Amino acid sequence: MKKQKFILAIVLIVILLSSVVSFAGAQEKIRIAMLVKNLGNAFFEACRDGGLEASKELGGIEFIFQGPTTPTAEGQIEIIDSLIAQKVNAIVISANDVDALVPVCKRAMQSGITVISFDSGIAPEGRILHLAPSSSEFIGRSQVKMLANLIDYKGEIAILSASSQATNQNTWIEWMKEELKEPAYKDMSLVAVVYGDDLSDKSYREATGLFKSYPNLRGIISPTTVGIAATGKALEDAGKSGKIELTGLGLPSEMKQYIKNGTCRQMSLWNPIDLGYSSTYIAYKLIKGEFQGKEGEVMKVGRMGEIKIGSGNEAVMGEPYIFEKDNIDKFAEIY
Amino acid sequence: MNKENRKISLPNIIWQWEIILLFIFIMVVIINSNLSPYFLDYTNLMNTTFNFIEKAIIALPMMFVIICGDIDISVASIIALSSVFMGMASQAGVNTFGLVAIGLFAGSAAGFLNGFVITKFGIPAIAVTLGSMSLFRGIAYVILGDKAFTKYPIPFAYFGQGYIGNTMIPFELVLFLMLAIIFGIILHRTTIGRKVFAIGNNSTAARFSGIPVNRVRLIIFTVTGLCSGLASILLTSRIGSTRPNIASGWELEIITTVVLGGVAITGGKGNIFGVVISIFIIGFLKFGMGLINIPGKVMTIIIGLLLILAIMLPQLIERLKPKNSFGKVKK
């Protein structure tokens, strides 16, 4: 018995040692991790494709794509911890909570990792720069304009957002409220803002709840890809297509049928592939020291052209694009 | 079977659950360090403990609860409730010391409420804590709505982010190890511990032999609340923000840990070493899977399989055990 145990112990030690030795001296590629709000979200999968495109173009990059199963800050913190442990070179994050990720991202930066946020930002202390897909003011205002056109500037409207903590959605909603103060919208009133947490089933239930609570509802703005698709489905199921107008930010491939049948006549979005491409590109150039990430700097971001870093180290990628019956087919194939 | 004999004979030692757990733990370490060069790194291993120590601190009193034959599924909601109260106090300008007091008090009060309803009205713990689980989190949602508390005093960050002196040892980890020793001594070396086992084995018999069964259970639920309050302080301090969905789903992870640690879900059986090893098995397993970027959905599946295995193994072992003349072949 004793002898057997002795042999077992020796075997274990050998395996342990071999594992330590076998990894010495590997790793020369630059490793960039993209951390998104949650997995299984088509928008972020398109971002990933953009990241992969940039990695291929720049060369010598190992691209890691990660996200928690549910869109929580704790889930993202746990992943950032393991990315710090892996000593990746850069982390590119779309955050679930603007403040909660700051401590762990500070720690990442202290250990020499380049941290930038894209899409949904982290507070300035927790990142080098933030790449916003479009200017928040423009997005917020344009959503209201689109919906107003669809409902002839009259009636009750509601907003169906992502999680109540989502940085980007909350800023856009603020700008929507600003736009609604203009005299042109005096006959329109915002009756509710509800949160579907970027989960299809919850968004669907929240949308159905809106139809019931506000029988005079004329329009819904859903500034999130999960929310707008779920609302489209809810409108069809409830037979409200055409009675309640829907607009917002949606993925062409997911929204194609609703745009074609008139449930959602107009919506807009920037290109998530471009967003993933740009943020990965910028992260790489920051690691290489070719970009400084300072306010006022103009970055040459590959095929995207020039992107300027504005105040608060926020950079804006471009303006959202409007999708309608005429152009949806083309884009539905891309993303 | 006499005690001495049982201790000495080798097969019985090998079949002990804690030894099996230790073996699983070693396997997890070996496999992880083979899969990733970053696993066996002092700083990394220390830092990853942040992600599971808060749950571990609740697993300790949860072990007592389950040994007593009860269960408490409201612990994660107590975290949310305590965190919300601390957040409110912090907005009102309360200092770090005050916040800690509020967190601990809110947790204890919630735990006491659970224990009081359970023992006073004789309602099964699962029913009561199922209710309070929704109740406590409901209160958190009502108070916070769609907002978040994000202003906490700077010294408050130490509890969940700080290290002991200049070492890389997290404060949370040391706190947990101290608590584990205290809980271990109480469970295995004091009369209180023996009462807990007696209640779990047969609460009627325990009552007839003069053990104040309900008082012991009330204290255990209150302590569980207290520890949930403590975990809430650590978590709130670590992420510096309170949202109503904070710590959602943790109750199941905590119970999973305790059951994997060899505590019988039917009560009456359990060992502190098993639970402590189980905490590190799950923690390091998740960390290792994170290092090779396994998606969270797959991790959930693997942890689930591990738990099913943990529940099945003791039954299998019972069958495979070398039978001696007084061998227990039951069920």
Least CB-CB distance to A19: which of B34, B157, B238?
Answer: B34
Domain count, chain B: 1
Q: How confident is the model at residue B280 (pLDDT cuts 50, 70, 90)?
A: very high
B55 close contact with A: CB closer than 8 A: no
What does the radius of gyration of chain A's CA atoms come to, in whole angstroms?
23
- Residue B279, domain member (yes or no): no
How far is Cα B262 from Cα B256, in angstroms, rounded to an integer?
10
pLDDT computed for residue A22 by the predictor? 47
How far the first Cα of chain B sits from its last, in Å, is: 19
- Residue B187, domain member (yes or no): yes
Tokens 């009675």 — which residue? Answer: A243
Question: B59: closest CA among B277, B285, B305?
Answer: B277
A209-247, pLDDT tens digit by residue? 999 999 999 999 999 999 999 999 999 999 888 889 999
What backbone phi and psi angles, to 5 degrees, belong to A325? -50, -40
A167-202, pLDDT tens digit by residue? 788 989 999 999 999 999 999 999 999 999 889 999
CA distances from B64 to A258, A332, B67 (A): 55, 57, 5
* Interface with chain B: mutation pick from A20, A86, A88, A122, highest number of B CBs within 10 Å: A86
Quick one: closest CA in A to B290, which residue? A82
CB contact under 8 A, A164 and B297: no
Domains, chain A, ordered by start: 30-133+272-318 (3.40.50.2300), 136-269 (3.40.50.2300)
- Residue B25, domain member (yes or no): no
How far is Cα A35 from Cα A47, in angstroms, rounded to an integer?
10
How far is Cα A199 from Cα A162, in angstroms, rounded to an integer?
8
User: Cβ contacts (< 8 Å) between A84 and chain B: which residues?
Assistant: 44, 47
Tokens of B143: 């108070």
Question: Is the separation of the CB atoms in A130 and A315 below 8 Å?
Answer: yes
Q: What residue numbers bound the domain in which B123 lies?
A: 40-247
- Residue B7, domain member (yes or no): no
Share of chain A above pLDDT 70, in %: 91
**Between residues A133 and B76, the one the model is more confident about:** B76
CB contact under 8 A, A164 and B161: no
Q: How far is B195 from chain A (nearest CA, A)?
A: 38
Given a cut of 90, whether residue A165 has pLDDT beyond it is no
B87-99, pLDDT tens digit by residue? 999 999 999 999 9
Among positive and negative, which fits the CA dihedral B229, B234, B236, B237?
A: positive
Given a cut of 80, whether residue B276 has pLDDT beyond it is yes
User: Cβ contacts (< 8 Å) between A97 and chain B: which residues?
Assistant: 148, 239, 241, 243
A75-97, pLDDT tens digit by residue? 899 999 999 999 999 999 999 88
CB contact under 8 A, B239 and A73: yes
CB contact under 8 A, A99 and B240: yes
Amino acid at A120: S
B189 close contact with A: CB closer than 8 A: no
Quick one: closest CA in B to A163, which residue? B146
**Between residues B236 and B324, the one the model is more confident about:** B236
How far is Cα A99 from Cα A172, in angstroms, rounded to an integer?
18
Mean pLDDT in residue range B198-208: 93
Least CB-CB distance to A69: which of B38, B51, B296?
Answer: B296
CB contact under 8 A, A97 and B48: no
CA distances from A231 to A8, A64, A164, A214, A250 (A): 60, 32, 17, 15, 11
B169-192, pLDDT tens digit by residue? 999 999 999 999 999 999 999 999
Given a cut of 70, whether residue A5 has pLDDT beyond it is no
How far is Cα A109 from Cα A105, in angstroms, rounded to an integer?
6
Strand locations in A226-305, DSSP E?
A: 245-248, 267-269, 298-300
- Residue B324, domain member (yes or no): no
pLDDT computed for residue A7 by the predictor? 59
- Residue B193, domain member (yes or no): yes
How far is Cα B17 from Cα A229, in angstroms, rounded to an integer?
50
**Buried (b) or exposed (e) across A209-237, using 16+ Cβ within 10 A?**
ebbeebeebbbbbbbbbbbbbbbbbbbee
Identify the CATH number of the domain in which residue B125 sits.
1.10.3470.10
Mean pLDDT in residue range A206-210: 93
pLDDT computed for residue B331 by the predictor? 41
- Residue B9, domain member (yes or no): no
**Buried (b) or exposed (e) across A7-44, using 16+ Cβ within 10 A?**
eeeeeeeeebeebeeebeeeeeebbbbbbbbbbebebb
**DSSP reduced 3-state for A135:** coil
- Residue B327, domain member (yes or no): no
How far is Cα A133 from Cα A129, in angstroms, rounded to an integer?
13
pLDDT computed for residue A46 by the predictor? 87
pLDDT computed for residue A21 by the predictor? 47
B49-75, pLDDT tens digit by residue? 999 999 999 999 999 999 999 999 999
Q: Residue A243: CB partners within 8 Å, gap ≥ 6?
A: none
Q: How confident is the model at residue A321 (pLDDT cuts 50, 70, 90)?
A: confident
With a CB-CB cutoff of 8 Å, which residues 226-245 of chain B face chain A? 235, 238-241, 243, 245
Quick one: closest CA in A to B42, which residue? A85
Chain-centre distance for alpha carbon B265: 14
Question: Is the separation of the CB atoms in A225 and A250 below 8 Å?
Answer: yes
CB contact under 8 A, B247 and A102: no
Q: Residue B300: CB partners within 8 Å, gap ≥ 6?
A: A69
